[in-house]
Amino acid sequence: MNELAYVDMSNNPFDPTDFPPWFSSLQSLTTLILENIQIQGQLGIFFFELVQRMKNNNISGNLDMGSNPSSQLQLVDLQNNSIAAFPIVRQYGNPVCNEGTLGSQYCSITDQQHLNSSPPYSTPRENCIPPSCVSKMTSSPTCICSYPFTLDLIFNDPTFSDLENSTFFEAFQTALQSTFRNMELPVDSVSLRNLSWDTWNNLVITVDIFPRGQKKFNNSEVLVIFSVLTSRSFQPPPVFGGLYYLGSYPPFGRQSQKLNIGVVIGATIVGFALFLLLIVIGIYALGQRKIARIASRRSDPFALWVPNSHAGGVPQLQGAKYFSFDEVKQYTRNFSSVNVIGSGGYGKASCVYRGILPGGQLVAIKRAVHGSMQGGLEFKTEIELLSRVHHRNLVSLVGFCFDQGEQMLVYEYIANGTLKTILSGISGIRLWWSRRIKIGLGVARGLHYLHELADPPIIHRDIKSSNILLDDRLNAKVADFGLSKSLPALGNIHITTQVKGTMGYLDPEYYMTQQLTEKSDVYSFGVLLLELLTGRSPIERGKYIVREVKEAMDANKPFCGLQNLIDPNMGTVSSSSAASVERFVHVALRCVEEHRLNRPAMSAVVKEMEKIMETLGLDPAAESESSCSGEGGRTFPPVHPYSTESLASFSAGTFS
């Protein structure tokens, strides 16, 4: 604890407690925030050696700051307490200090306005004299006039409070410039200014990014810089905590150009000549296009397809947009490796790119690799299926590309990536127990929609943690419908098809009989629940998680005897939460029953998952509306105390 510098324990339901004296033993402590936690009693002199806030408690007695408070003391916030008296009132700026009747220690500690007179950090010049810039140009730290890309970066969990400390901000600038340099972006320098705290105690930094070798960034360069800052490509120093972006594009200035009459006349003549040439080229191209269209009609089912047309052969789409290959190429900056965010999961092979549509919308573009093409009719069937699937727990299809021999699907961009990545700990996001239950409920609702509300019903056929995406509020969205199948008609209980899926999640009965039903998805979902509980892959070091849980299961013990299998990364799971864990395990094991007739329908699973949430004091109806922004550098609302409801109250009759 000697390295601990920043403590915030606010808004916790602790029992009424005297001010803990052990804080005085923390050698590096500089900031202490203990708001609304029922602290009571009198504060010692040590308390005034820290930057602190302790409002909304029951602090009483007289305050004594001593004769030598810390020079770092900038704020004492003791609103809404029971303080009886404060004997010393600082008199900086009053005549009484000039008369010398008070000790110097009382007149040297100034009021809050004077304490803040030391300006926050701003980027200095690099040993150069700034020139006088024209128009709306700004002088960079390297004393070059240009139009910077300006935006505000907001950090919601910094571990320091000193805005004058140049060490933190110089490290921030170095990390940001290194990121741009590694991305080979035309950035000359970065300047920080207007450092401040907003009303929610978030750190706000205005950042000016100056172009290199040009007066301003073009639109595509601005979009790439924006994408770098919002896609985790830039990792600020850990002391800055979680980052999110708030800003707008800068009003780039325009330089006036004076053209003489000769230039205008010459340009007009050249333009007219080019116009005639384009007409000739256009006539020739139309003839060639007609020949190519006749040839393509024989083999390509989309040859007659004109987007937004309702002629025969047009797929029945509901909102999905057609993109040309050139458009997608532009959105991904020529499929730059910088924009690669994933691979696999579509056809035999694929690559997933981040793209930015003209309106600024971020999208994920899944591109099939040449040589792994599906047939045109199968691709048409797939996009028809995806275009009619609309649910808050399913990834939305924005559009598609079927052009120049390419097959691409354009999805909404999901900020926090896959559940598999988060469970592995790579992302730095920590999932507490209540959040894992909510994720399981979100997946269950998505599958319930596919099985029972879609017309015709849809079997996903590849439910696994790498196909579950989490948005910026950590709500689950089922993705990747490349293996999905529609039941051909009402009344069909199964379809016979080639076995496809992922080992570890694959329904053994489907594997043996090749008979696919919605209960195959239920089995995969049960494996996913066990993965949420344990944080382990289904098959790890030759061990199968389903078999391990069944062998360790003991219904007569707390947590069903599975304490050693519970993922330690979710934090300590208190004994009061045993009921929710036991019910969660019971649902998972019912889903992975060997025979499909013994597995529950997803509608029954959704109801049981909602009941588990209720045992935690959470509202299942607010699952996707909860105000949260992540864990590990983010803040979730406090979880309500767990219910003591036991497994005995669980009704197996819920599952039919």
Q: Which residues are catalytic?
A: 462
Place of tokens 């602290």: 39
Contact 518, 507 (CB under 8 A): no
Place of tokens 């519970």: 566
Tally the C-alpha atoms within 13 A of residue 72's C-alpha that lie toward its C-beta: 18
Query: Pairing state of beta strands 340-343 and 187-197?
Result: unpaired
Contact 182, 213 (CB under 8 A): no
Place of tokens 């999961």: 345
Contact 343, 365 (CB under 8 A): no
Question: How far is residue 521's CA from residue 506's CA, in Å, rounded to a whole number?
Answer: 9
What DSSP line would sit under 265-311, residue for residue? HHHHHHHHHHHHHHHHHHHHHHHHHHHHHHHHTTT-TTTT--TT--S
| CA angle at 47 for the pair 45 and 53, rounded to the nearest 5° | 145
Two structure tokens written together for 539: 């098959």
Query: Pairing state of beta strands 350-356 and 362-368?
Result: antiparallel
Q: How many CB atoms lie within 10 A of CB 574?
A: 10
Tally the C-alpha atoms within 13 A of residue 402's C-alpha that lie toward its C-beta: 26
Backbone angles phi, psi at 73, to 5 degrees: -65, 120
Q: What's CA 106's distance to the chain center, in Å?
A: 49
- DSSP 8-state symbol, 394: B
Question: How far is residue 589's CA from residue 585's CA, in Å, rounded to a whole number?
Answer: 6
- SS3 for 540-553, per residue? ECCEEHHHHHHHHC
Q: Does the annotation flag 366 for ligand binding?
A: yes
What SS3 class is residue 626?
A: coil
Q: What's CA 444's distance to the chain center, in Å?
A: 21
| Closest listed residue to residue 379, CA positions, set 397, 362, 358, 353 | 397
Whether cis (ω within 30° of 0) applies to the bond prior to 250 is no
Contacts (Cβ under 8 Å, ≥6 apart) of 495: 485, 487, 488, 515, 516
Two structure tokens written together for 57: 């408690």
Binding-site members for ATP are 366
Annotated binding site: 366
